Chain A
Amino acid sequence: MRKYKYLLFIGIAILLHFKSIMMLGQVTYRDHMEMSQTLKDLQSKHSGITKLISLTKTQGGKDIWALEIGKVSSKNQPGLAILGGVDGSYISGPELSLRFAEELLSSSTTDSIRNLLDSVSFYIIPNVSPDASEQYFSDLKYTRNKNSRGTDDDRDGRLNEDPYEDLNSDGKITSLRIKDPKGTWITHPDDERVMIPADKKEGEKGQYILITEGFDNDLDKNFNEDGPGGIIFNKNLPYKFEHFKPGAGDYPVSEIETKAVLDFLYEKWNVFAVLTFGPSDNLSAPQQFNKSDAEKQVISSILESDATINSFISKKYNEISGEKSHPETRISNGGFMQWAYFHYGRLSFGTPAFYIPEIKVEPDTLESYKKKKEEFNPEVNFMRWADSTLQEEYFLDWTAIQHPDFPNHHVEVGGLYPYVRNNPPAGIMDSISRTHNEFIVWLSAQRPVIQIINIQTESIGKNLFRLDMDIYNQGYFPALSEIGINTRWVKKPKISLTLDNGQDIISGHPIQLLDKLDGDSGHHISWLIREKGTVKVEAGAPQMGIQVIEVELK
């Protein structure tokens, strides 16, 4: 396995760090049953500040859990929603969500976390794809993100008729490569284990057909295109929903788990931001504002002031979690992170949490090495990183087999094992979890916070009083994201004045709504009131808290 020995320029400290953690023999990922038990235990141990709800059960009979942490009865405490498992093959998402809950609750007796939980609620939905992620724990491992609904992925009128087959009986679905002049794939010149498409621009000619491991059960010339399941949570949402694509669903929000999660969130008016663990990424690199896409009728660019916020949050994310090699904004159509921004109207952030560091090689120092491809290839980079870092198996060397669909062909089974590219090995989880927990706590501190300031009263004679104040947002985040200003699914900050007996308003409104209230900005308000007495002013919105003050006019 270690036949490629590159000289590494990666920070040696980090490497040693990873190694040392792995030595501890950490627990691996937890399956649905273990997660459910952990959640129940957390809830019973911290019953005063937690609430555990099963939002629904999937077709596979698994609960979609939501763990609420904070002042569980408060509807007006800013909330941060955290989702894992939007893509069931990113099994680290559920683990990171759960680890955040565990660490937060285990520190809930410290002053800082107790104060935090007095002013922020966390809604943790660790795994929205339990049917899919369970594949990791089953005897046959393959990268799965589909739920248990029987579907006709290739729309040929037959359900699940062409699944994978484990041809070499190693319990994992990898790839097949078939030597064939018609093929469009070649091996990477820098690492022959890695297959890449032949590049016509370079005059390359394909030598291999590359498919997933299995047979063409329905003789339609496609391999394994309609296996067990199902609908992919991260394709079932209505923002840029892709009709009729495999895994999308018959219509947006067709699945009970999607509907249950959305219904839950729509009831939580106090959510000010959403963090998603999964394939979508606007944290290693922020989403960019695109004026023409933002001005179209169907808006498809993050709006300008929200992009500014995204950019700052991304910068802090990289500071806290470590610089990334080749950071890249990644979004997926029908995906959850985009939905939370474009339709739910909340600031929305996402990360896969696991990034492979770039392994640089020094050509001169190695005789056998000659760099043939200039451009960065993430898979080659992964192999270099894995060769020098991983202790567990991550690659199956290409091995010849017989395949009835390709008689008289040289067929090999091999390639990367499922899950290894997108999920950190168990040993690294600790450090990833620690930095992400730190980031989440920092993120929650950016919430919008109502504060009534500069309160002034003035008697202008004849029992007339002027009452002045500023409604101020002392947080970094706005009360409404720019996209949220125009959707009815985010509440506007509301200011209401209640008078004492015998008082009446000469000028000003008893109830006012603010269309926006940005971070670190205020809105001036005043009333003319007749007669002495104590008035009550209530200001705020669920996502920024509500403050009530009493002012005596005398």
Chain B
Amino acid sequence: MKNKVIYLIYTLLISGAFLSIPESKAQRVEDIFKAAGTPSNPKVPVSWNRYYTYDGISSICDELVSAYPDLISKTSVGKSYEDRDIWVLEITDSKTKSPEDKPGFYIDGNIHSNEIQGSEISLYTAWYLVESFNENAFINSLLKEKVFYIVPTINPDARDNYMKAPNTANTPRSGMIPFDDDRDGLEDEDGLDDINGDGHVTYMRRKNPNGRYKIDPDNPKWLIRADPDEAGQYEFLGSEGFDNDGDGRVNEDRVGGYYDPNRDWGWDWQPDYIQRGALKYPFSVPENRAVARFVMEHPNIAGAQSYHNSGGMILRGPGSSSDEISFHDTDKSVYDAIGKLGSKIIPGYEYMVLYTDLYPAFGGELSWFHGGRGIFTFTNELFTSRYFFNKEYKNYNERMKDAFEFDKYLLFEDAYVEWTPFDHPIYGEIEVGGFKRNYSRADPGFLLESDAHRNMAFTIYHAYHTPKLVVEEVEEKDLGKGLKEITVTIANKRMIPTHSGNDIQNRINPPDYISITGLEVLAGMVVIDEDLKITKEQQYNPHQIEVENIPGMGVVKVRWIVSGDKDFSISVESQKGGNLTWSKKS
């Protein structure tokens, strides 16, 4: 009985948090005036100005599924190293066509576990799509034509570790597989410590007249380098920590350690001594292996997006000069068109090529999606210091100065921990302080929803341009003696082709099949040039013509010589372009 009461209270609390419209007057439907572009009365109210743990994400997913069962479903793509389910949300109007017949768009976030806001942005996208379905015509037709596969966090274990365990803004980055960073035979034996127990891992500094740092005269909260001819005041001792294993080094083998899930993908992969962060072999990170299998099992995925932080970048491959061969000119022009639009609609974000404009990286996720699967893929580096005061910074000091001012005037010093004395077992009298982990890489609360919306808008534009195939024209010509020539034009009304250049070259995905049924087929061919009458006959299975690609904003023509005069149907099967049929009714 007691348990039941507790359960009742519990469910009321949970539903109060997520589901029911609170009793407060200001939130009654009749008291709300819609802001343009945002669902005004969502069935699932979610605050987009804070971050969620893995459990928090999972329950938002569940709420969305129970609110919109016809639009969204949640399944697990597999288990993480610590046995958490990696959720994928499938979002589409399931009443028009089944999902596998539609072009798919894949989104994930948080592959680097400390780069958290990709999860909220992915989740915002899911939320926005389902909450807008009934009130926005564009979103409505988008979900009729496409299917979204959204994995809010691809690295759930270390996401929670980032939030709950001693970490800086830069850790763990990896997942939670124990790893012997210093090759001494022990794993994760000397990580970061919150040495003064204030709930934050900040920095350690020590007063030292021979140190090379001094208090910034303009900003007493932080240290800058002393001038070359000037005596310093402090030495810098790194992030908070002890020498836990007594080997004379501090924080040299932390939890998870240095392996990088974004150097683990099965394309252009290199081992750790060439590409720092690589693990044993491609897809030795179990979370990635599960996602890769999901992608292989969903060959309709034609476009993809992964979210990182930070810096305000819209990145495409290649990841290294050796992979330039998989980027054909036709692909680049599609990337350019989408990427340039992105840098317009997300002011402060720049469209860049990974290996030339940022740094080379072997075995990255976007490399595998593009090279290994022929999927047009971007990685966005979320949040940029241009969000401080709409300024470009020429150097680090200038940017840090504004970071402090932004914290002071807009966050009211919520991101900062004052320097306080501490007696360290190795270093003696030191001071501990600096920025908290949730500042500098993660969006501050009030910017998160805005960053989420703009990035979502970018992915929606990208998803919109996955192929849209239509049977544009069916021409019948009587050849006499019971023979007929049927010529069919299939058009792709969007920018992305059914096969990227690399896909065509390596035949990654099967060709597109254009078939005729209902008539006896004597011969079938692809029409290469209608005017010059150049055709290419296909002897094997002539009723089902194979075309290597249906180009973006382009057409293909196929022709059959048939006998009979019955009704017939044309069907198009394209893994990335979707499946459709057209029927002649006399």
Is the pair B183, A298 in contact by a Cβ cutoff of 8 Å? no
Contacts of A187 in B (CB 8 A): none
Residue B245 contacts which of A238, A511, A513 (CB distance < 8 angstroms)?
Answer: A511
Contacts of B507 in A (CB 8 A): 155-156, 244
Give CA–CA (A134, B563) in the complex, Å: 49
Residue A491 contacts which of B183, B269, B274, B540 (CB distance < 8 angstroms)?
Answer: B183
Give CA–CA (A214, B2) in the complex, Å: 77
- Residue in A closest to B371 when the chains form the complex, CB atoms: A243
- Residue in B closest to A217 when the chains form the complex, CB atoms: B540
Is the pair A157, B511 in contact by a Cβ cutoff of 8 Å? yes
State whether the Cβ of A342 lies closer than 8 Å to any Cβ in chain B.
yes
Give CA–CA (A488, B263) in the complex, Å: 15
The residue among B270, B271, B372, B540 with the most chain A CB atoms within 10 A of its own CB is: B271
Is the pair B508, A244 in contact by a Cβ cutoff of 8 Å? yes
Is the pair B266, A251 in contact by a Cβ cutoff of 8 Å? yes
Residue A252 contacts which of B180, B182, B281 (CB distance < 8 angstroms)?
Answer: B281
State whether the Cβ of B185 lies closer than 8 Å to any Cβ in chain A.
yes
Residue A253 contacts which of B273, B283, B510 (CB distance < 8 angstroms)?
Answer: B283
Residue B281 contacts which of A218, A253, A486, A491 (CB distance < 8 angstroms)?
Answer: A253
Is the pair A251, B368 in contact by a Cβ cutoff of 8 Å? yes
Is the pair A513, B269 in contact by a Cβ cutoff of 8 Å? no
Give CA–CA (A454, B294) in the complex, Å: 59
- Residue in A closest to B258 when the chains form the complex, CB atoms: A488
Beta-carbon contacts under 8 Å, A476-498 to B: 483, 486-492, 494
State whether the Cβ of B287 lies closer than 8 Å to any Cβ in chain A.
no
Chain A window 152-176, contacts with chain B (Cβ cutoff 8 Å), 1 for yes, 0 for no: 1001110000000000000000000
Chain A window 57-100, contacts with chain B (Cβ cutoff 8 Å), 1 for yes, 0 for no: 00000000000000000000000000000000000000000000
Is the pair A343, B271 in contact by a Cβ cutoff of 8 Å? yes
Chain A window 331-371, contacts with chain B (Cβ cutoff 8 Å), 1 for yes, 0 for no: 00000000000110000000000000000000000000000
Contacts of A156 in B (CB 8 A): 507, 510-511, 546
Contacts of B508 in A (CB 8 A): 155, 244
Give CA–CA (A143, B166) in the complex, Å: 57
Give CA–CA (A252, B362) in the complex, Å: 14
Interface size on B, residues (CB 8 A): 38
Give CA–CA (A262, B280) in the complex, Å: 8
Report if A244-B506 is in contact (Cβ < 8 Å); known contacts: A253-B283, A254-B266, A262-B280. yes
**How far does the Cβ of A446 sit from chain B's closest Cβ, in whole Å?**
23
Contacts of B546 in A (CB 8 A): 156-157
Report if A488-B183 is in contact (Cβ < 8 Å); known contacts: A220-B540, A253-B281. yes
Chain B window 486-504, contacts with chain A (Cβ cutoff 8 Å), 1 for yes, 0 for no: 0000000000000000000
Is the pair B540, A219 in contact by a Cβ cutoff of 8 Å? yes
State whether the Cβ of A250 lies closer than 8 Å to any Cβ in chain B.
yes
Contacts of B245 in A (CB 8 A): 511
**How far does the Cβ of A539 sit from chain B's closest Cβ, in whole Å?**
12
Report if A251-B540 is in contact (Cβ < 8 Å); known contacts: A157-B510, A342-B271, A511-B247. no
Is the pair A513, B184 in contact by a Cβ cutoff of 8 Å? yes
Is the pair A250, B296 in contact by a Cβ cutoff of 8 Å? yes
State whether the Cβ of A8 lies closer than 8 Å to any Cβ in chain B.
no
Give CA–CA (A407, B248) in the complex, Å: 81
**How far does the Cβ of A508 sit from chain B's closest Cβ, in whole Å?**
10
- Residue in B closest to A266 when the chains form the complex, CB atoms: B280
Contacts of B248 in A (CB 8 A): 509-511
Beta-carbon contacts under 8 Å, B220-260 to A: 245-248
- Residue in B closest to A253 when the chains form the complex, CB atoms: B281
- Residue in A closest to B512 when the chains form the complex, CB atoms: A157
Is the pair B266, A252 in contact by a Cβ cutoff of 8 Å? yes
Report if A298-B372 is in contact (Cβ < 8 Å); known contacts: A156-B507, A510-B247, A511-B246. no
Report if A262-B281 is in contact (Cβ < 8 Å); known contacts: A488-B183, A511-B248. yes
State whether the Cβ of A299 lies closer than 8 Å to any Cβ in chain B.
yes
Residue B372 contacts which of A155, A251, A488 (CB distance < 8 angstroms)?
Answer: A251
Contacts of B506 in A (CB 8 A): 155, 243-244
**How far does the Cβ of B183 sit from chain A's closest Cβ, in whole Å?**
5
Is the pair B184, A494 in contact by a Cβ cutoff of 8 Å? yes
State whether the Cβ of A297 lies closer than 8 Å to any Cβ in chain B.
yes
Is the pair B182, A513 in contact by a Cβ cutoff of 8 Å? yes
Is the pair A243, B280 in contact by a Cβ cutoff of 8 Å? no
Give CA–CA (A266, B279) in the complex, Å: 11
**How far does the Cβ of B323 sit from chain A's closest Cβ, in whole Å?**
11
**How far does the Cβ of B190 sit from chain A's closest Cβ, in whole Å?**
11
- A contact face: mostly helix, strand, loop, or mixed: loop
- Residue in A closest to B326 when the chains form the complex, CB atoms: A243
Contacts of B280 in A (CB 8 A): 262-263, 266, 489
Report if A243-B267 is in contact (Cβ < 8 Å); known contacts: A491-B183, A513-B184. yes
**How far does the Cβ of A211 sit from chain B's closest Cβ, in whole Å?**
18
Give CA–CA (A554, B507) in the complex, Å: 76
State whether the Cβ of B292 lies closer than 8 Å to any Cβ in chain A.
yes
Contacts of B371 in A (CB 8 A): 243
Contacts of A241 in B (CB 8 A): 269
Is the pair A243, B247 in contact by a Cβ cutoff of 8 Å? no
Is the pair A492, B322 in contact by a Cβ cutoff of 8 Å? no
Give CA–CA (A364, B181) in the complex, Å: 69
Is the pair B281, A343 in contact by a Cβ cutoff of 8 Å? yes
**How far does the Cβ of A343 sit from chain B's closest Cβ, in whole Å?**
5
**How far does the Cβ of B548 sit from chain A's closest Cβ, in whole Å?**
11
Give CA–CA (A343, B273) in the complex, Å: 9
Chain B window 335-379, contacts with chain A (Cβ cutoff 8 Å), 1 for yes, 0 for no: 000000000000000000000000000000000100110000000
Give CA–CA (A251, B365) in the complex, Å: 13
Contacts of B270 in A (CB 8 A): 298
- Residue in B closest to A265 when the chains form the complex, CB atoms: B280
Residue A297 contacts which of B183, B269, B274 (CB distance < 8 angstroms)?
Answer: B274
State whether the Cβ of B551 lies closer than 8 Å to any Cβ in chain A.
no
Contacts of A263 in B (CB 8 A): 280
Residue B183 contacts which of A238, A244, A513 (CB distance < 8 angstroms)?
Answer: A513
The residue among A157, A262, A509 with the most chain B CB atoms within 10 A of its own CB is: A157
Interface CB pairs A-B, < 8 A, 30: A152-B510, A155-B507, A155-B510, A157-B511, A157-B513, A157-B546, A218-B540, A238-B281, A241-B269, A243-B372, A243-B506, A251-B266, A252-B266, A252-B282, A253-B282, A297-B274, A298-B274, A343-B281, A483-B273, A488-B181, A489-B272, A490-B183, A491-B180, A491-B184, A492-B184, A494-B184, A494-B185, A510-B247, A511-B184, A511-B247
11 further contact pairs, Cβ within 8 A, besides A156-B546, A494-B185: A157-B546, A219-B539, A237-B281, A250-B296, A251-B368, A253-B284, A486-B273, A491-B185, A510-B247, A510-B248, A511-B245
Using CB atoms and an 8 Å cutoff, list the residues of chain A in contact with chain B. 152, 155-157, 218-220, 237-238, 241, 243-244, 250-254, 259, 262-263, 266, 269, 297-299, 342-343, 483, 486-492, 494, 509-511, 513, 541-542
Please give me the 8 A-B residue pairs with the lowest Cβ-Cβ distance, nearest first. A251-B266, A157-B510, A155-B507, A486-B273, A511-B247, A219-B540, A244-B506, A253-B281
Using CB atoms and an 8 Å cutoff, list the residues of chain B in contact with chain A. 180-185, 245-248, 266-267, 269-274, 280-284, 292, 296, 322, 368, 371-372, 506-508, 510-511, 513, 539-540, 546
